[in-house]
Every structure is written in structure tokens, then in C-alpha cells.
Structure 1
Amino acid sequence: MSTDRSAPAATAGYDDRRRWQALGVGLVAAFMTLLDVSIVNVAVPSIDRALHATPSDLQWVLSGYALTFGLILVPAGRFGDARGRRTGFVAGLVLFTVTSAVAGLAASPLWLIIARLVQGAAAGVVNPQVSGMIQQLFRGAERGRAFGLLGATIGISTAVGPLLGGLLIQAGGEQHGWRFVFFVNVPVGIIAVLLGWRLMPARPTGAADRNRLDPIGVLLLGVAVTLVLLPLVQWQQWHGGAKWLLIPAGLVVLVAFGWWERRYERRCRQPLFDLRLFGLRSYTLGTLIGLLYFAGFTAIFFIFTLYLQIGLNYSALGAGLAITPFALGSAVAAAASGRVVNRYGRPLVGIGLLVVVIGLGAIVWLLRGSPHVSVPLLTAAPFLVAGLGSGLVVAPNQTLTLSKVPVPQAGSGAGMLQTGQRIGSAAGIAAVGGLFFSTLVDTRDDWTAAFRRSLLLAAAIITLALIAAVVDIVLGHRRSGSVSPARSGAAS
């Protein structure tokens, strides 16, 4: 498979001077869509009071978005590769903006659930176009900086969601403040649609086989992702062990998807996802690192919000402020890491993972016994450290993982990477959240003990990502002999 390290070869007729402006629009859209994964968590009590929703309704409001988001990523990425990223970006963003308004106007739980399902699918259309656009328009050090900014956006949007949600709910009032969580997307979305149509490239470079979008591949992958994600996102409300049988069933369908993709490609057609990408060590291990890191990383904010709001009676705004140090550390480190990732390669990711584990371990140690000072104050410094480590993980890992992916497969390659991250997030919340609630039962509502134990599990999952990064570094050194760290993380 060819690499992609030449000078920029932008789409014919595209003004390269617009690249950074287009990236800015893409980052705003990515921020909005990723923010909606976490921002609604703090709005649940307000939604419950306003719409008289059942626990099952509320779970679907939260998890339905994540389900359809993960379901559409790879097909949407392939669409952008084949038909133009601007088309996919604008169409997805229009749908996201409209469904945000519809969700804000919801008069019943069913209304809100349907709006969230469609909103999640729209978010899944938008995000691969941003990563694909970076692959298409940037090269070398500039690509690292662009992915650094995207990594900062991912980290901030995930961590700062509870804070912004708390601010919006406080501004709108306890009864209807949750509606502001959705309405805030509308003016930003309208502006981003107009600028996106003007600034983003209409067609990708070197796209081939534009008119074939592999509908059977789309169906098989969609069924596989649904079967894997559904029990993970419904783990609280779907009782009994039968739900876990869907995961091996999903893996069987995934094998069928792989068989079909190879058959489709042998007919000289462009498959939905080029399986040869998994022949690249940087892509395979990078995708695994992303899945494992997001499994631990996303779950932290889920359990911390529960711990503060329900266990310690903090307000939504107070819980959001407590997570701010992580968001700030992540933003600073992600922006800086984009400038040095090409020099240090995968070891930079390994260092970041180690720092995250150290930060989380410090929180577990500080919360031993019953804390006698404010928990947000006690955890601020270690969360800042963990955030700095996170900033060295998300953006550099994305840059290194996609470094060898040819531009014609950039959207679908990024879509598969993000699908792994969505599956990891769902699995992490199910596992870490399950331990959190079981510990509450075992300890008779000792919220601090529950948080510490579940945080240890999250740290252990992130440690697995660290092991995968070390494996990549070691294999890189073995393959190339004694080489500089800058090349060890990018070797395929």
C-alpha cells in the first residue's frame, strides 16, 4: 500500500490558502458533535422533571446518540472518500443542526429519543469528513499540527461537556435549562454550514470508483456494530445475561463483513473499508490503543459526575468545574504535541499514557479513607496531570495511526478508527460503571470507595493501551534496527 508523504496535492481548483480556515470550521463542528456525547449527562435530572421520563427513556436519550454515532462512521467516511467531503460534512451538519432544534423542542420522551437517534447519526456523518480533510489537505509537520488541534478538540469536548451543560442549565433554569443544551447548537451549526460549503474541498484527491458505495458492506458492518454496541449502551436497563450473546453474534457478522469486503475488492471495486489497512502496524496498533484508551478515558467522567452529583450532592455546575483541570491540561498538551509528534513518534503516546495512569493513581491515593476537604479541590492537581498526559495521547495517536493511510481511504480509515473509539467508550462505561454500582451495593453506599475502585479499573484499562504502545515501539526498533524514536512510531 502506498504511503502519503508527498507535498500537498489538494483537490483540483482548491485554494490551499483556505486550508486552515476549513480546518477551523471542521473543528467547530467536531466540537459540537462530540460535546453532545457528554453534555447531556448533567441534564438528565432536568429532563426527568420536565418530561416525566422513565429510567429506560433517559438511558435511550444518553445511549441512543452513542449507538447511531458509532453505527454510521465508516459508511460516512467512505461516502466522503467517494463523493466529496464537503457534501458529507454539510449534509451531516444540516441534519445535526435541525435535530438539535427538534430535541430542544421535545414535548415527550419519545420525541426526544427519536431526535437523539437521528442527531447521533448526523454526528457520525460529520466527524470522518474532518479527519479525512486533514489527510487530504495537510502533509508532514502541518498535518501533525492539524491533528494536534483535532486532538485538543476531542479532549476538551469530552471533558468540558459537564461544565458547559451545568452553565447552560443554570442559565435556563432547572425546569427548562436542558433545552438550552440542544438549542446552543443551532446558531453555531448554521454558521458552520455556510462556511463549510464555502471553504471545504468539494472532491478528494485521487478518488476512484465514485459511484459504488458497497451497500452490502454497509449493511453487514451496520448489523455488526449494532450487535456489539447495543448491549454495551443498554447495560443498565437491559437486565439478564442474554444481552451479552449479541457481542459474539456481532463478531460473527464482522467476520462475514471481512469476507464480503475481500470478495468485493476482487471484483476490482473499492470496498467500504480497505482491509489492507490492518496490514499496517501503525494503523492496527493505533486503532487498538484508541479503543483501549477511550474505554478508560470516557468512563472516568461518567463515574466522577455520578460521584459528585449524586454521592456528594454537588450541582451540575460544580461537577463540571471539577473536571475543568483535566480539560485545560488536555488542551495545552494536545496543541503542543501536534508540533513534535513527527519527531518523537509512538514513544510520545507511551509517555502520555504513563502520565495519565500516574495522575489517576494519585487520585485513588488522595481519596483513601474519607476526604476531609473539597473533593474537586483535592483532585484538581492530579486531574491536571492526567489531562496533560491525555493531550499527549489522543492527537499523536490519531496522527500516527493515519500516517500511512492513503488519501482515497482517509475517510473510511478515520471512520474505523473512530468506530473503535466509540465501541471502547461504550465498553468502558459498561465495565467501569458496572463496578461502580456493584461496589455501592457491597459497601452500602460508600461513594468514595465505589469511585476509587472503578477509577482503578479505568487506570488498568489505560495500562493495556500503554502495553500496546510499548509493543509498537519495540516492534519498530526490531524492524529498523537502531533507529530514532521519530521513526519507530510511524513504521508500518
Structure 2
Amino acid sequence: MSTRWAALPVLLVAVFVTTLDFYVANLAVPSIRADLGADDAAVQLVIAGYGLAYAAGLVVSGRLGDLYGHRRLFAAGLALFTVASAGCGLATGTSVLVAARVAQGVAAALLAPQVLALLGLLYRGAARARAFAWYGTAVGLAGLSGQVIGGLVVAADPMGLGWRACFLVNVPICLAALALTGRLLPRATPSPLPRGLDLGGAALVAGGLVAVVLPLAEGREQGWPGWTWACLAAAPLLLGAFGWRQRRLAARGRVPLLDLGVFREQGFAWGLVAVGLLFGTSAGLSFVLALYLQDGLGLPPLAAAAVCTALNAGFFAASLRPWRFGAPVLVAGLVLVHHAVGAGPLPLGLALLVTGAGMGWLMSPLLSSVLAAVRAERSAAAAGVLGTVQEAGGVLGGTVTGAVFFAALDGGWDAAARAGLAVLVVASLGVLAHSATRRPAHGADRERRAARSSFT
């Protein structure tokens, strides 16, 4: 195996563990709630705090990679993620756990753009399409495996650690990847761009994302006080100010944090909407399943993980051969899951099998086509935006679905699950609309064909 291809597992390990940790905490939520005495708002912050820090830091970390080298930032992110994972596993209270989860999110944000940039540096043509196909599979499998791995770890209770082992397991894996980073990943090349970092822009985009997610996570528990509505009102102003600042910097010949020209690439913005909806659907489904299977149906963690295995199996089998009808299958699967609520674990598992297949057929082609729509000189900006949308979509999907779920909980667990799933069905219809109307950009057909054949 060449050094170039030996580097791929190192990059995919980083992708897998950082994506997994967004979802793995879902199945550990009941155990965390019981052990640390966490209320609903704290539980949502354990989930949302990670994803929010992840999403808020992606754009600036992409620029840092340009300035200081992608391998260097990758190593720094991996080291921080290792330390933060240990902090999660050793947390003595809810506030400590939330803080460690935020640190994990910051580390994941340092990693994600570097992975996409390094994939672009290491691979070209058909090899690049294969690498991104594996990237999409790693992202999807990590998201769907979170339920299974979390359930297995909690049920196994290694050394009496319980839910803590879900985070501590990252430590040896990340240390092994870190040891190989210097040997296998390419050295940094000097950036042709002027040095400098738009800290004001970074603050605006981070503030805008916080202003969206924080009130959604805390609002219901606190009875929607005035500050939650003030934050939601401020969010579009902050994000609008960020856009204005980036245009102004570009007009003055300075390097903005984000090249807004990437949004004018054919099909890119519409593709981002579909990516956000897909990742929001995945996160929302994980949240609903984690609570409904254990607290609603009373299943132990291992049995809940067994039901979720159907989702994972469907994804893995379908991802081996991406199919253009993945979006309709996803919609049909979620509708079946909605109808299977209350019918018992077996019908629910069969419906999840169909849902997982839809996601598996859809994930890699969607990610590849969004990146293929962008010209090479804007690929770094596109990668940063794509990563931000993935994580922001996951945060918002989990948060909105959780808010609807808890709001309907007075009607019982079945009613709450159906309400949350109804949100996901609507989101999947948006993905279907994109699939039905998308026109392949220049080069997208070639990369999609290569991705389809990457596992054969």
C-alpha cells in the first residue's frame, strides 16, 4: 500500500470518532441523566454543546489550516480531542461534562476542514472520488453507529465505567492515529494568501450560530423567557453582519474568513440545504430513538442498540452501491418508522432498515456532488462551508426535533416519538426535492460514477 493510501485510514479515523461523538452520547443520555442528575436542558446541552462548538469553529479553523498548515492543525485538533474525551469520561458533574463536550467540539472543528483539505491534496481524479466516497461512508456509519456503539458500551459496562466508557474509548484510538500523523500525512506548503485572520468575522459567525441553537436548547425548559426570543431575533442580524463584513474585506483586497463567491457556484447553495436537512434528519432520528427505546419502551441499552443495528445495517449495505433513488427510499423509511411507533421493536427495526438504506444510497453521492459543483480555486472555502452545514444541520435537527419531542411528551411516549418523526419526514421531503431538481455540475457525473464504483 502506498503512503498516500495508508494516510486515508488516519484521516477516516478522525472523521469517524468526531462524528461518532456527536451521536454516541444520545444512547448514554438516560445513564447520564441518572448518574449526574441532569435535567432536560442540561441533557440537550450535552448533545448541542458539542455540535455548536463544532459548527461555530469550522470556518475559522479552515483559515487557520491555510495559514499554519493542514497537518499541523490536524495534529493539534486530534491531541485536543483526546484530552477533551478524557475530560468527558472523568466528568464529576453536568457542568464539567458540558464544558468538556464543548472542548471536544472545538477540537473536532480544528480537525474537520483539515481532513477535507488533506483529501484534496492527496488524491486527484478517480482516486479523489473514491476517497470522498469512503469519507461519506465513514460519516454516515459513525452517525448511525453511535446508537449501537453507545448501547454496547453502556451495557458492557467495562471496569464499571458505564456511560463514561463511551468517551474514554476515544483516547487509545486517537493516540494511535496521532502517532501515525507525522509519518503519513503530507507536510504543509506555504500559503499563497496574505497572512492574517478575521477575528471579527469569526466572532460574528460563532455568535450567530450560538444565538440560534442556545435558545432552542434551553427555551422549553426555562419557559421561553425574553432572552431566548432576543437571541433568535439577533441571529439573522449577526449572520448578515458576517456576510457584509466578508464582502467588505474582499472589496478592499483583503482576505476574508470566507470567500462568499462559493455560494454563486452552480447548485452549491441548494446542495447545502439538502446536506443540512439530511444531517439534521440523522441527528433528530438518533435523539428520538435514544429516548423512545429506553425511556418509552423500557428497553435496556443492549436491546435498544440491537434495534438501532437495523438502521446501521441498512446504511452499510446500501453505501456499498450508491443509488439515485436514495432520497425516495429515505422518505418512505421515515414514514414507516412513524407508523411503526407503538407496534413493538421488530416492526420498528424493519422500518429502520429501510431508512438506513435510503441514507446509505444517498450520503456519498450527495456530498461528492456538492463538492464537485465548485471550481478548484474555491474548494477550500467549499469544504469549510460544507463541514459547517453538516454540523449546524445536525445541531439544529437534533435541537428542533428534541424541542418538538419534549413538547408532545405530555401525550405519552408514542405521541412524542410520532411528533419528532413528523419533523423528520418533512425534512426528508426537502432532501427529496433537491434530488428531483438537481442538475449535475461540470465534472459531477464523472465523480459520481467513480464514487459508485469505489467499493467494487
TM-score, reference length from structure 1: 0.84
Q: Quick one: which of 196, 202, 205 aligns to 1:221?
A: 205
Q: Is the 8 A contact 2:280 2:397 kept in 1?
A: yes
Q: What's the CA shift for 1:161?
A: 0.9
Instruction: Work out whether residues 334 and 391 of structure 1, in 8 Å CA contact, stay in contact via their aligned partners in 2.
Output: yes
- Other-structure match for 1:413: 382
Distance 2:270 2:102 in 1: 31
Q: Distance in 2 between matches of 1:58 and 1:449?
A: 21
Contact persistence 1:48–1:54 (CA under 8 A): yes
- Aligned-partner residue type, residue 394 of structure 1: M
Q: Does 1:438 align with 2:422?
A: no
Counterparts in 2 of 1:343-354, with a 5 A limit? 351-354=325-328
Q: Residue type of the partner of 1:365?
A: H
Partners of 1:135 and 1:143 within 8 A in 2: yes
Q: 1:127 to 1:217 in 2, by over 3 A?
A: same
Deviation at residue 411 of structure 1 after TM alignment: 3.9
Q: 1:61·1:113 contact (CA, 8 Å) conserved in 2?
A: yes
Trace 1:35-114 onto structure 2 (pairs within 5 A): 35-114=20-99
* Preserved CA contact (<8 Å) 1:22 1:199: yes
Aligned to 1:273: 258
Q: Any idea what the Cα deviations from partners look like across 1:51-77, whole Å, max 9, x if unmatched?
A: 344544433322211221111111112
Aligned partner of 1:297 among 270, 276, 282? 282
Aligned runs of 1:82-481 on 2, under 5 Å? 82-172=67-157, 176-203=161-188, 207-209=191-193, 211-240=195-224, 242=226, 243-337=228-322, 351-367=325-341, 370-371=342-343, 375-406=344-375, 409-441=378-410, 443=411, 445=412, 447-473=413-439
Name the CA distance, whole Å, in 2 between partners of 1:55 and 1:379. Answer: 25
Alpha-carbon distance in structure 1 between the residues aligned to 2:248 and 2:312? 45
2 CA distance for matches of 1:362 and 1:42? 22
Query: How far 1:82 moved relative to its partner?
Result: 3.1
Distance of aligned partners of 1:384 and 1:266 in 2 relative to their CA distance in 1, 3 Å threshold = same
Q: Which residue of 2 aligns with 1:8?
A: none
What secondary structure is seen at the aligned counterpart in 1 of 2:192?
coil
CA distance in 2, matches of 1:461, 1:84: 37
On the 8 A contact 1:104/1:179 being kept in 2, the answer is: yes
Q: Is the 8 A contact 2:153 2:162 kept in 1?
A: yes
Matched residue type, 2:355: A
Separation in 2 of the partners of 1:103 and 1:433? 22
User: How big is each residue's C-alpha offset from its partner over 1:420-447, in whole Å with a ceiling of 9 and x where there is no partner?
Assistant: 2222223222333333333332x3x1x2
Distance 2:174 2:402 in 1: 33
Structure 1 residue runs without a partner (length 5+): 1-15, 338-347
> Which amino acid counterpart does residue 143 of structure 2 have in structure 1?
T
Is the 2:148–2:308 contact (alpha carbons within 8 Å) kept by the matching residues of 1? yes
Q: Confirm or deny: 8 A CA contact 1:144 1:396 kept in the other structure.
A: no
With over 3 angstroms needed to count, the CA separation of the structure-2 counterparts of 1:415 and 1:317, relative to structure 1, is farther
The one-letter amino acid paired with 2:326 is G
Q: 1:235 to 1:102 in 2, by over 3 A?
A: same
Output the aligned Cα RMSD: 2.7
**What are the superposed Cα offsets for residues 81-140 of structure 1, whole Å, 9 maximum, x if unpaired?**
332211111100000001111222222333222211111110111112112222222223
Partner residue of 1:6? none
- The answer as to whether partners of 1:331 and 1:391 remain within 8 angstroms in 2 is yes
Indicate conservation of the 8 Å contact 1:134/1:146, yes or no: yes
For 1:60 and 1:439, how far apart are their aligned partners in 2?
20
TM-fit CA distance, 1:366: 4.0
Q: 2:25·2:150 contact (CA, 8 Å) conserved in 1? A: yes
- Gaps of at least 5 residues in structure 2 are 450-456
User: What is the percent sequence identity of the aligned residues?
Assistant: 35
Q: For the Cα contact (< 8 Å) 1:49–1:175, is it kept in 2?
A: no
Paired residue secondary structure (2:321): helix
Task: Name the residue aligned to 1:340.
Answer: none
Residues in 2 aligned to 1:297 and 1:51: alpha-carbon distance in whole angstroms: 27
The separation in 2 between residues aligned to 1:436 and 1:228, in whole angstroms, is 18
1:486 and 2:452 aligned? no
Paired residue secondary structure (1:427): helix
